[in-house]
């Protein structure tokens, strides 16, 4: 039997669209969207990015139905669906039977095309976006219908609702980062039996060689061994840094970090960061980085960055992400796995552990003058930053 395509499809409205951002050639996984968390929540068994995010703000079940033939044609073996909340808005005001019939037709189209559908059994709404009257009753009836009837049709159902409170939303409708990861957690459980193989992270340090080791790593020392790395003055850092890696700060005034090393049970060591201080500037970041040698690349090569990220006890942290930063035609662009939401919005404190994988970068050697692999910690302006972040098994490799 052919293995399932680990590049899953995400179908929905703005809540799913929020999983990815950026203006081409930048592509960012956004940590307040549930879709960007599935790699880290499944051990890397699945991959997501904007290319298979079939989601449009404001779309109803009718809109999704109209677009489903195109979504199916665009690819993906597993379809994650979340899209009926806009049926309830006053300008749409769908009946219960209309929403049910649209959903049934959509899921049948996915099944008939050989897809595996997964339905998220809707999310609560709060504050200015709270529902009332008949539309609240229909919203609740749809949720119960998803939970009770969908499994009879062979549809997998995820139910994040019991985990969510008003504090997990930006505006009562769209999740923040703590909400996004809580939507992802029960949904990700379905992938653990669908996909048996986790993401393969480095357990050895073998450099890429076009003749002898085409599967080698483009970056040196993915196991984070040694202590001869560099601390830039901008990082306000103390302690050892792994060989070949550099710690720098950007708009990091007021922030500080104590670096250390500890064993990684999956291979090599962790580069550990204990965060401190209070960043006083907007867009503050602490960055662990390494340059990818352009001599190893050719136009058309496809790259990704991967790494294991562990964090706990976080406060004042907007995000933690594995990135590729590339300079193309004199302008810097990014491929980010889990970018932060916005200045001042904090992510959940953890603890969390799992791999991250960047969106794929197609190299253009005619215009690309620098590519870096980075692990990035985002601060929040004038908020004390605390907690432990560990990075291990971090490398860039050629996918093609």
Residue 140's SS3 state is helix
Look at phi and psi of residue 119 and say left if phi exceeds 0, alpha if psi is from -120 to 50, else beta. beta
Could you tell me which CATH class the domain 228-398 is placed in? mainly beta
Between the alpha carbon of residue 270 and those of residues 151, 263, 311, 317, the distances in Å are 42, 6, 11, 20
Q: What is the pTM of this model?
A: 0.96
Cα–Cα distance, 358 to 307 (Å, whole number): 9
- Paired with 158 in beta bridges are 120
- Gap between the Cα atoms of 316 and 378, Å rounded: 9
pLDDT along the chain (400 residues), means of 10: 92 98 96 98 97 98 98 98 97 96 98 97 97 96 96 95 98 98 98 94 94 94 98 98 98 98 97 98 98 96 98 98 98 98 95 98 97 98 98 96
The Cα-based distances of 3 to 77, 92, 124, 140, 194 in angstroms read 10, 40, 35, 37, 10
d(C-alpha 71, C-alpha 52), whole Å: 8
Chain segment 60-90, per-residue pLDDT in tens: 999 999 999 999 999 999 999 999 999 999 9
Q: Give CA–CA dist 208/216, Å, rounded.
A: 4
Q: How far apart are CA 167 and CA 55, in angstroms?
A: 24
**Strand ranges in the chain using DSSP code E only, listed in sequence order:** 9-12, 20-21, 27-30, 53-55, 78-82, 116-120, 156-158, 228-231, 237-238, 241-250, 255-263, 269-277, 285-291, 302-315, 317-328, 331-339, 352-357, 361-362, 368-379, 386-398
The C-alpha angle 11, 23, 53, rounded to 5 degrees, equals: 10
Six token digits for residue 86 = 């806009």
The residues of the chain that CATH labels 3.40.50.1110 are 9-194
Tokens of 203: 């357990």
Q: Which CATH number fits domain 9-194: 3.40.50.1110, 3.30.460.10, 1.25.40.10, 3.40.309.10?
A: 3.40.50.1110
Closest CA to 359 of 334, 391, 326, 329: 334
Q: Please give the pLDDT value at position 400.
A: 86
Domain with CATH 2.60.120.260 in the chain: 228-398
Residues near 211 by Cβ (< 8 Å), separated by ≥ 6? none
**pLDDT at res. 2:** 80
């Amino acid at each position: 039997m052919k293995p399932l395509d680990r590049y899953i499809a995400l179908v929905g409205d703005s809540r799913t669209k929020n999983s990815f951002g950026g203006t081409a050639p930048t592509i960012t996984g956004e940590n307040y969207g549930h879709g960007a968390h599935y790699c880290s929540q499944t051990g890397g068994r699945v991959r997501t990015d904007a290319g298979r995010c079939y989601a449009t703000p404001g779309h109803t079940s009718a809109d999704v139905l109209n677009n489903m033939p195109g979504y199916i044609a665009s690819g993906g073996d597993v379809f994650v669906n979340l899209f009926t909340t806009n049926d309830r808005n006053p300008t749409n005001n769908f009946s219960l039977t209309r929403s049910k019939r649209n959903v049934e037709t959509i899921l049948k189209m996915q099944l008939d095309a050989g897809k595996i559908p997964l339905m998220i059994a809707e999310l609560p709404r709060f504050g200015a976006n709270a529902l009332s009257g008949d539309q609240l009753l229909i919203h609740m009836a749809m949720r119960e219908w998803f939970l009770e009837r969908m499994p009879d049709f062979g549809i997998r159902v995820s139910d994040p609702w019991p985990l969510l409170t008003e504090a997990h939303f930006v505006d009562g409708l769209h999740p923040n980062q703590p909400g996004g990861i809580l939507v992802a957690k029960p949904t990700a459980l379905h992938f653990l039996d669908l996909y048996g193989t986790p993401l393969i992270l480095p357990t050895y340090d073998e450099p890429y060689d076009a003749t002898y080791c085409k599967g080698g790593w483009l970056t040196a020392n993915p196991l984070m061994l040694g202590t001869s790395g560099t601390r830039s003055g901008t990082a306000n850092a103390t302690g050892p840094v792994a060989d070949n890696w550099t710690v720098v700060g950007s708009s990091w005034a007021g922030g500080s970090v104590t670096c250390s090393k500890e064993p990684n049970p999956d291979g090599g060591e962790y580069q550990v960061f204990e965060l401190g201080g209070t960043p006083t500037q907007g867009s503050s970041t602490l960055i662990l980085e390494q340059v990818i040698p352009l001599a190893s690349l050719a136009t058309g090569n496809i790259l990704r960055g991967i790494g294991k990220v562990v964090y706990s006890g976080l406060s004042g942290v907007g995000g933690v992400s594995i990135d590729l930063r590339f300079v193309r035609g004199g302008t810097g662009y990014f491929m980010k796995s889990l970018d932060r939401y916005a200045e001042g919005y904090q992510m959940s404190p953890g603890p969390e552990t799992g791999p991250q994988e960047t969106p794929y970068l197609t190299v253009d050697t005619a215009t690309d003058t620098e590519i870096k692999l980075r692990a990035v910690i985002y601060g929040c302006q004038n908020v004390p930053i605390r907690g432990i972040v560990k990075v291990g098994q971090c490398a860039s490799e050629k996918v093609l």
